[in-house]
Amino acid sequence: MPQYSLTITPRFYETDALGHINNASIAAWFEVARITFLESLADQTAASATNWILASLHIDFVAETFYGTDVVATVTGASPGNSSLKVICEMSQGGKLTVRGTAVLVHLDAVAKKPSRIPDTLRQRLAAS
């Protein structure tokens, strides 16, 4: 799968007292990367944020991330299950890996409020990407 990347410009309010990017901001940036990645692959119905719920999030803080330099968030892998999707993402700043994370999303039937099979169109686009 080719990698999907986006650039994030850290904002001052996302820092802690030492000038590091706050851990909660990193989790939010991963969400932006995951959702925009899905939207790049699928029609709005399959990729809508309301069709996905976060089941698991694991983040490894490899190095410090600071205010003042753009961060590149890269989705490096996506593996669909029946109703779940594992998404792997990395963040780098100044060419240095700073954060690595894995999220498991569950595709949700918004009416029944239950997990539903990932649409075939999205599966095909994941396989082709």
Record the pTM.
0.88
What distance in Å separates the CA atoms of residue 62 and residue 11, rounded to the nearest whole number?
A: 20
- Cα separations in angstroms, 13 against 9, 71, 115: 12, 15, 36
Q: Give the Å distances, CA to CA, from 122 to 30, 40, 83, 125.
A: 20, 10, 12, 5
pLDDT digits 0-9 by tens, 91-102:
999 999 999 999
Alpha-carbon span 88 to 5, nearest angstrom: 12
Please tell me the distance from the alpha carbon of residue 98 to that of residue 68, in angstroms, as a whole number.
15
What does the DSSP 8-state code read for residue 10? Answer: -
Taking only the tens of pLDDT, the chain with its 129 residues reads 557 999 999 999 999 988 899 999 999 999 999 999 988 886 654 556 568 999 999 999 999 999 999 999 999 999 999 999 999 999 999 999 999 999 999 999 888 989 999 988 888 888 876
User: By C-alpha distance, which of 51, 29, 30 is closest to 121?
Assistant: 51
Q: Mind listing the domains of the chain with CATH numbers?
A: 4-128 (3.10.129.10)
